[in-house]
Amino acid sequence: MTEQKHAKKTVAVIGSGMAGLVTAYLIHQDKQCRYHVEVFETQDQLSLDSASYTISSADVYPSLPNRIDIPMRAFDEGFHINLKRMYDYLGVGYITQKFVYSLSKYSTVDGKKSPPYFFHSSSNHRFPPVRPEGYGYLQWIVQIMYLAACYFWFIVCCFVVKPKMASTSKEEETLEVYVKRIRLPWHFVKNYLLPLMSSVTTCSHDALLSFPALDAVDYAKRTYRQPHYTVIGGVQGVQSKLSKGLAVSFQATVTSVKRADTKLEVTWVDSNDKSHISYFDHVVMAVTPDVVGALFEPLREVMREIPVIWGESVVHYDSSAIANSSRLLEKYSAKTQKAGDQAQIMHITSDPLSTESIHQQSSTLVTNFPISPIDPNKIAHRARLARVLRTPKSREIVNDIFTLDKSELKPPKEELFWYNGKDNVWLVGAWCWDGMVLLEGCIVSAMRVATSLGVEIPWTITSSES
């Protein structure tokens, strides 16, 4: 038994978000028991569910779970293919979740929110859309026809007009250049497309316009008419399934990873600021690019090119944050609840630079990356969250790291490039794939490491093989 343990390869996983936990789960479950996995987490609890918040049962409809996922972890069939397969394999329960997005404006001059100018329902499940307060029938019909035409044009272009890729003289096309090339009306882009997309990417409009066009087009295609899902009871259930039996060191902040002869040296600091050194055969960094750069010298320079922003999700009861739109939506919400159609409401409010989204669950509100003030006396919980952004440059870097053809890398060229798995150092995370930085990237990158280590992915095995 002891001999077998010594024969095992040791793997350190740094970070216990979705990517770290899935990687650790897969390697730990290796059928041939070849690996001993240890997870390092800087927080005093697993990170996947650490920012979430439990609301008292009096605050919620009896049918709703009382754990609010922060950040929200919605997924859908077309985009989150591997995440959904994993949930099915693990027996994680989820429900179809409809959303109604109310779009309004926030004035930075007088600090007021205008009444909503449009109600968008996810996958257009409610047609015709709710008529905004103050809109006459004619104005409403003209708006719907205008939006239907713009939306139709955008979707057709996504399917038939490919974004331009990088050439020797030019970077690849950004979303801004693409929407201008397909002549999508700027009024539609500014007032409808950007606010709705920013609620997914939680970044400024300028940052979103600088995304590779391919990301936005691919996302629009893959999520087109797809139902959204949320996990019943929140991701805490996923977290406990993935972490079962794992060895985790909490309040263990890794400060450096480097090669030391045939092993990898991991330096980490405990809660008493005491420094430790441990040696492993493999190290998996499941952290954001800025942290990777700080820990791992070979990637220090290049990680600076991948933007990471920080923002807050705030759980509160300040209904004045949505006062202008609440009456009509309350009526709509009550009607849909009665009909057993649990559409959740998202209040999307934009100023000229960015968008905040307020997720309403009964009287509890969650504002993501706020742009307008919230009464401090009505705040129940706040969490600081990182978001990795995409640019043509960062996409190029990520693709170089993950898709480089290693057979082309003979010395001395080999020394110039770092690729995933070089010297047994691996990267996983929502940003470690070629697509929007969402949970699917966590699963794809974790599966990639497991496959490279010869570990079977149970949710990709067909029933005839198992």
Minimum CB separation of residue 346 from ligand FAD in Å reads: 11
Task: List the structure tokens of 63.
Answer: 């049918």
Minimum CB separation of residue 215 from ligand FAD in Å reads: 14
Distance CA 17, CA 429 (A): 8
Q: Which is nearer to ligand FAD, 157 or 432 (CB)?
A: 432
Minimum CB separation of residue 285 from ligand FAD in Å reads: 9
Distance CA 130, CA 136 (A): 12
Task: List the structure tokens of 315.
Answer: 């759980």
Strand partners, 177: none
Residues with Cβ within 8 Å of 442's Cβ and at least 6 positions away in sequence, in order, are 17, 18, 19, 22, 83, 428, 429, 430
Asked if 232 and 221 touch (Cβ cutoff 8 Å), the reply is no
Q: Which is nearer to ligand FAD, 217 or 238 (CB)?
A: 238
Q: Which is nearer to ligand FAD, 30 or 41 (CB)?
A: 41
Asked if 150 and 188 touch (Cβ cutoff 8 Å), the reply is yes
Query: Strand, helix or coil at 110?
Result: coil
Binding mask 233-272 for ligand FAD (x = CB under 6 A): --------------------xx------------------
Asked if 284 and 448 touch (Cβ cutoff 8 Å), the reply is no
Q: Which is nearer to ligand FAD, 71 or 237 (CB)?
A: 71
Asked if 367 and 358 touch (Cβ cutoff 8 Å), the reply is yes
217 CB neighbour count, 10 Å cutoff: 21
Minimum CB separation of residue 142 from ligand FAD in Å reads: 33
Q: Which is nearer to ligand FAD, 179 or 322 (CB)?
A: 322
DSSP states of 130-169 as a string?
PPPTT--HHHHHHHHHHHHHHHHHHHHHHHHSPPPPP-SS
Distance CA 169, CA 245 (A): 52
Q: Which is nearer to ligand FAD, 194 or 442 (CB)?
A: 442
Minimum CB separation of residue 28 from ligand FAD in Å reads: 16
Distance CA 462, CA 466 (A): 7
Q: Rule CB under 6 A: is residue 94 a binding residue for ligand FAD?
A: no
Q: Rule CB under 6 A: is residue 74 a binding residue for ligand FAD?
A: yes
Q: Residues 13, 439, 455, 457: which binds ligand FAD (CB under 6 A)?
A: 439
Amino acid at 282: H
Q: Which is nearer to ligand FAD, 179 or 359 (CB)?
A: 359
Q: Rule CB under 6 A: is residue 72 a binding residue for ligand FAD?
A: yes
Task: List the structure tokens of 166.
Answer: 């990088």
Distance CA 235, CA 240 (A): 9
Distance CA 423, CA 108 (A): 51
Q: Residues 209, 286, 314, 315: which binds ligand FAD (CB under 6 A)?
A: 286
Task: List the structure tokens of 325.
Answer: 């739109």
Q: Which residues inside 2-21 make contact with ligand FAD, applying CB under 6 A?
A: 14-15, 17-20
Asked if 288 and 282 touch (Cβ cutoff 8 Å), the reply is no
Q: Residues 36, 67, 73, 222: which binds ligand FAD (CB under 6 A)?
A: 73
Minimum CB separation of residue 164 from ligand FAD in Å reads: 27
Q: Which is nearer to ligand FAD, 103 or 358 (CB)?
A: 358
Q: Residues 71, 163, 234, 392: which binds ligand FAD (CB under 6 A)?
A: 71
Exposed (0-12), middle (13-18) or buried (19+): which is 303, by Cβ within 10 Å? buried
Stretch that binds ligand FAD, among 25-33, 41-49, 134-142, 209-217 (CB under 6 A): 41-49
Q: Which is nearer to ligand FAD, 213 or 238 (CB)?
A: 238
Distance CA 401, CA 257 (A): 18
Residue of minimal Cβ distance to ligand FAD: 17
Minimum CB separation of residue 316 from ligand FAD in Å reads: 15
Q: Rule CB under 6 A: is residue 370 a binding residue for ligand FAD?
A: no
Q: Which is nearer to ligand FAD, 171 or 312 (CB)?
A: 312
Q: Residues 40, 53, 296, 426: which binds ligand FAD (CB under 6 A)?
A: 40
Q: Identify the helix (H) or strand (E) that includes residue 257.
A: strand 253-260
Q: Rule CB under 6 A: is residue 219 a binding residue for ligand FAD?
A: no
Sign of dihedral through CA atoms 286, 292, 297, 300? positive
Longest alpha-carbon distance in the chain = 80
Strand partners, 356: 349
Q: Which is nearer to ligand FAD, 216 or 254 (CB)?
A: 254
Minimum CB separation of residue 281 from ligand FAD in Å reads: 19
Q: Rule CB under 6 A: is residue 43 a binding residue for ligand FAD?
A: yes
Q: Residues 82, 288, 344, 361: which binds ligand FAD (CB under 6 A)?
A: 288
Residues engaged in binding ligand FAD (CB under 6 A): 14-15, 17-20, 40-43, 47, 71-75, 202, 253-254, 286-288, 291, 313, 368, 385-387, 429-430, 437-439, 442
